[in-house]
Structure 1
Amino acid sequence: MDKRDGIFSPAGVVVDLGAAPGGWSQLALKRVGKAGAVIAIDCLEMEPISGVEFIQDDFTEQSGLQAVEQALAGREVDVVLSDMAPNLSGHAAIDQPAAIYLAELAADFARQRLSKTGCFLVKMFQGEGFDQFRAQLLRDFNKVITRKPEASRSASRECYLLAREPVL
C-alpha cells in the first residue's frame, strides 16, 4: 500500500495504534528515516525496535492517550496507522461493533492530531457499521480510498481505509 499510495514521507511523524507485533512500525521507520519519528502503542508486549518509541498501554484508556500525547510533545502527526483489533469472541454481533468502536477512536485521534496533508490508515472488517464509518471519513477527509491487502484472503472481509487531508 505504501508503494502504491505513498503513505510515508522522509522525516515524517507516525503514530502506530495497536502496533504489536511491530510490522507497520518497522516499515514506517524505514520510510521516515532517522529524521522522522515513530511512536507505537499497544496493550500487548512488543519486541523493541531501535528507533521506535514504544508505549505499552491501552490506547482506549486515558493513560494510553496521555502517553502518546506526551511522546508527541506537541508535534503534528503526518500518519496515523490503526491496526487495533478487539479480542474476538467469534460472534459478529459483538466483534463488529467493537472493531468499529476502535476505528472511531483512532479516527477521532487522527482528526485532532494530523497535519493538513496527513493521512489516516485504518484496518477494518466490512460488515455492520462499515458504510457509516466510511461515510463519516468522507465528510472529515478530502480523499478516502478502500484498499484490500494482497496478503488478505479473497474471502476475508478485511480491508484498509486510507483517508487523506483532514478537513479542518
Structure 2
Amino acid sequence: MTRSGGSGRTGRIKVRVRTARRRSTSSTRWLERQLNDPYVEKARAEGYRSRAAYKLIELDDRFHLLKPGARVVDLGAAPGGWSQVVAARVGSPGGKGRVVAIDILEMAAIPGVEVLHLDFLDAAAPERLTAALGGPADVVLSDMAPATTGHRQTDHMRIMALCEAALEFARQVLVPGGAFLAKVLRGGTEGALLADMKRDFAAVRHVKPPASRADSAELYVLATGFRGKGIRPVAGPAVADDD
C-alpha cells in the first residue's frame, strides 16, 4: 500500500494499493476505491454500518420521505445503514414511529428497528410486515441489488426484476399517499415498469444522490403519492429524470 500527495482542494492523501499475488485486479481497484472514499471514512467516524446511509440522508433531506411517526419498511436491509437513518428520522427509538427491516441475511439489532429474518418474496411476508408495523407502511425502501456480472444488459435485467418484486410488495403494504424508493441501474427501468408505476403513483422520478459514486450506473427510482389498491388510472407522461 502506498500513499500519494493529496489534492489541493481537500488535502486528502490518496491511497494506492499494490496488487497482491492472490488478489485480482478488480478486487484491488475496489479496495483502493474504498480506502479513498470520504463517505466510507465518514460512516466509520459517525457509526453508520455502511456508506449507503448517506445516500438515504441526502435523498430524505431533499424529498422529506421520513417524517416523525412514520411506519417504514427497509427491504434487503443488511447490514443496516439505511435502517439506522430511518430509525433516527422517524423517532422509533423513542416510540414515535415504527421501522421494520427485512433480510434473508442475519443483521445485528438496531435500537428502534424490528428485524425480520425473512425473504420478502415469501407469501406470508406482507402480513408479517403489516403486523410488525401495526398497520400499513408509509414508506417502502429498497437498496437491494443482485450480484453484478459485468454484463450491462444482464445486470439491468436482474435489477429490474428485483425492483419489480419490491414494487409488487410495496403495492400490498403501502398506505394511500405512501412512497416507494428503490435502487436501479441507469437505463434499467424503462417501458412497461415505469408505465406501471405511473398508474400506481402520482409522481415517479429518477434521482441520484451525491453519495452515489459519479462513475456508477446506479440510480434510484422514487415514486410518491401511492393511489391505493385497485386505483389504476391511465399512465401519465414519462418518468422525470432528476439526476
TM-score normalised by the chain length of structure 1 = 0.89
Amino acid at match of 1:151: A
Mapping for residues 31-42 of structure 1, pairs under 5 Å: 31-33=89-91, 34-42=95-103
**1:146–1:93: structure 2 CA closer, same or farther, 3 Å change rule?**
closer
Q: Whole-Å Cα distance in 2 between the matches of residues 107 and 40 of structure 1?
A: 16
Partner of 2:15: none
**Pairing 1:106–2:166 present:** yes
Question: Cα deviations across residues 52-90 of structure 1 (Å, max 9, x unaligned)?
Answer: 0011222223354454244234x0110000112223333
Mapping for residues 38-117 of structure 1, pairs under 5 Å: 38-62=99-123, 64-73=125-134, 75-117=135-177
Q: Whole-Å Cα distance in 1 between the matches of residues 148 and 76 of structure 2?
A: 15
Partner of 1:29: 87
Partner of 1:13: 71
Tell me whether 89-98 or 103-112 shows the greater mean CA deviation: 89-98
- Quote the sequence identity (%): 45
Q: Alignment partner of 1:62: what SS?
A: coil
Q: Whole-Å Cα distance in 2 between the matches of residues 97 and 135 of structure 1?
A: 17
Q: Which has the higher contact order (CA 8 A, sep 6+)?
A: 1
Contact 2:126 2:173 (8 Å CA) reproduced? no
Q: Alignment partner of 1:131: what SS?
A: coil
Structure 2 unmatched runs, 5+: 1-58, 229-243
Question: Cα deviations across residues 87-116 of structure 1 (Å, max 9, x unaligned)?
Answer: 333333433222111111111121222112
Amino acid at match of 1:18: G
Contact 2:130 2:137 (8 Å CA) reproduced? no
**Pairing 1:143–2:203 present:** yes
Greater strand fraction, Structure 1 or Structure 2: 1
Amino acid at match of 2:106: E
Contact 1:57 1:63 (8 Å CA) reproduced? no
Question: Cα deviations across residues 37-59 of structure 1 (Å, max 9, x unaligned)?
Answer: 00001112222101100112222
Amino acid at match of 2:198: L
Tell me whether 86-95 or 14-23 shows the greater mean CA deviation: 86-95
Residue from 126, 131, 136 that aligns with 2:190: 131
Coordinate RMSD, CA, aligned: 1.8
**1:110–1:63: structure 2 CA closer, same or farther, 3 Å change rule?**
closer
Partner of 2:231: none
